[in-house]
Amino acid sequence: MERIYELSSCSRRGNEADSVKSEIQNSKSKIRVRLLTSAPTAHAFVLCLLFASGCSDTIPTGSLVLTQTPAHTQQTHPGSDVLDQRYPAGSRLILAVPPFKPGSIRVLSQGLVAAGSPLVCLSGRRVCFVGKSAPDAPWQIYEADLRGGSPRAVTSIEGGAMDPAMISASEWVFSSPVPKAGQTWNAQNPPALYVQSGGQSPRRLTFGTTAAVQPTVLRDGKILFVSSHPSEGAATAPNLGLFTMNRDGTELALFALDRDGAPLVYRPRELADGRVAFLASSCLAGEAEERPESVRMARPFRSRSPLFLFPTPRCRSVESDGEGGLLACFERGSESGGTSVLLHPGPLPLGEGERSALSRTAQRERFDQAQDQLLPLPAGEGRGEGERAGLQRAVQRGGSTAGSFAVYRVDASDGALREPILDDPAWHDIEAAPLIPRTPPSGHMSTVALNKSTGTILCLNANFTRQSETNGTSQPNAARIRVLAASTQRQQTVLGEVPLHSDGSFLVEVPADTPLGFELLDKGGNVLKKLPPSIWVRPGENRSCLGCHEPPNRSPRNARPIAANFPPAVLNSGLETLAQHSPSRSGGSAK
């Protein structure tokens, strides 16, 4: 049974409000509230009434949680961290209900000096986010009950916590510590991913030498996160990629973005249509998010393209809206001194069915051509109503002040941005997410054996590599593999060397939860290829790989590697050279 209450703007002053509140509290039915006025005070009254009733089911359909940061704020202190820059003092987490009037909000981070990164829990009744209780306090993850009450801290980890993502109803993953501003990718103690359940202590999941940040949990239960491709020496700027692993930290793998576009990526999110959306940028300054792009889950290394086939302003976040569309937070153009517009009156000229047929290169070329048409339109220039309706708002180029960010709803069929659904010019409205329950990700049986201190790595053919890694020239096959390890101070040590079998395979037992790297050596001991310490195995994990810098999206040949016929070479004894223990080294290839 569904019960509908109609409230007028005067309801807030009479016995009608108390009567409705009492009925809502005692009702077992589904409740819908219908407003007979659009006054912001009425929306605020209804929101307070529903929360006072203690029933989260009364939250209006279509409500959003989002971050609001002050649109005009002073520069943060030079010693601040990345979250201080992202969420300056006064930033807050809010609940906004349709029709998204300024008065129809509720602050969820009440009592905190700053907050951001909202994450709707699987039930749709709670929200997790990052916040800080005092200007000099570390950032921690907080939880707010949508039925009311003050937010409570769910982490108290040294160095702070950021980037929460839900694994299950009582388990979440996050990144820690919070790095200083501008030091995410060169910090001496880079952020790692941790998992925490209920009131238990956090457990570390990643053990690389570069940062692991901004995790999201895919529907299949894997954790997708952002990290840097390993590089030798001091790189001037990081080249980031998307990586996956199981929820226990096993089976680390590169998922997408292998040096094939803008080097910086942020906020990956799985969409309902089989794509993963993310924000890409070529500029590290301020770690500012820029343009939305995507890859397909089915072929992530061959499908990088713009998320939208029309030019977009700067973007701070993209999320599924739960109804097949997207919630995107774009920057609005400055209203003073002129507005930037797209001079093409409407969407890009795509024929029927052309959208799906465009190749990745054609999509990017079409997108770049359209971006080149973003030119400033002087204020007051005459435009016909029909043409003005087709012009898309975009970021103004030049020296003028940029506008605030607003929330847009975008459907896959849209050829241009519509008007925003939520825009408060006093705030940057960012990181909007729908307040809806979600299906829990698939589970995963852990193979980690905490009573062990080692794991194994099986390589099928160390000489299997991509052509680009050899600059198109042939190289001799490797004769041995040298295994490296890095300490917490990033000092490399040699665990040992192992001869390769005739098929290029090797099997080694190595220390667990330790950054590991490899060097391919020829017969004379010269280094042919090198992977700096960047991968790891968990205790008891049996990890395998196809080759060294092998091409992506490849399946192994259906043949048993020779190394699998022998026990692993143990490389945790400190010996500089070890041979794989086997009955015979001249047995030839196994069939």
- 484: CATH: 2.60.40
**What is the SS3 assignment for 9?**
helix
Q: Is the pLDDT of residue 375 over 50?
A: no
**What is the SS3 assignment for 498?**
strand
* 419 in the same domain as 493: no
Instruction: Decide: 94 and 124 in contact? Cβ < 8 Å.
Output: no
The DSSP secondary-structure symbol of 468 reads: G
Q: Which amino acid is at 369?
A: Q
Query: pLDDT at position 132, please?
Result: 96
Q: Model confidence over 387-400: pLDDT tens digits?
A: 333 333 333 333 33
Q: Model confidence over 536-576: pLDDT tens digits?
A: 999 999 999 998 877 777 777 888 999 999 999 999 754 33
Q: What percent of the chain has pLDDT over 70?
A: 71
The verdict on residue 449 lying in a domain is: no
Query: pLDDT at position 75, please?
Result: 58
Query: pLDDT at position 443, please?
Result: 85
Q: Model confidence over 431-458: pLDDT tens digits?
A: 999 999 989 999 888 989 999 999 999 9
**What is the SS3 assignment for 154?**
coil
Instruction: Decide: 78 and 439 in contact? Cβ < 8 Å.
Output: no
* 273 in the same domain as 312: yes
Report the number of distinct structural domains present in the chain: 3
Rounded distance, CA 193 to CA 93, Å?
Answer: 23
The verdict on residue 447 lying in a domain is: no
CA contacts within 13 A on the Cβ side of 544:
10
The verdict on residue 386 lying in a domain is: yes
Instruction: Decide: 485 and 518 in contact? Cβ < 8 Å.
Output: no
Nearest to 73 by CA among 65, 84, 57, 59: 84
The verdict on residue 536 lying in a domain is: yes
Tokens 């809010």 correspond to 94
* 465 in the same domain as 411: no
Query: pLDDT at position 480, please?
Result: 96
* 365 in the same domain as 427: yes
Q: What percent of the chain has pLDDT over 90?
A: 54
Average pLDDT, rounded, for the chain: 78
Run of H or E including 93: strand 92-96
Query: pLDDT at position 534, please?
Result: 92
* 570 in the same domain as 467: yes
CA contacts within 13 A on the Cβ side of 420:
23
Domain that holds residue 512: 454-577
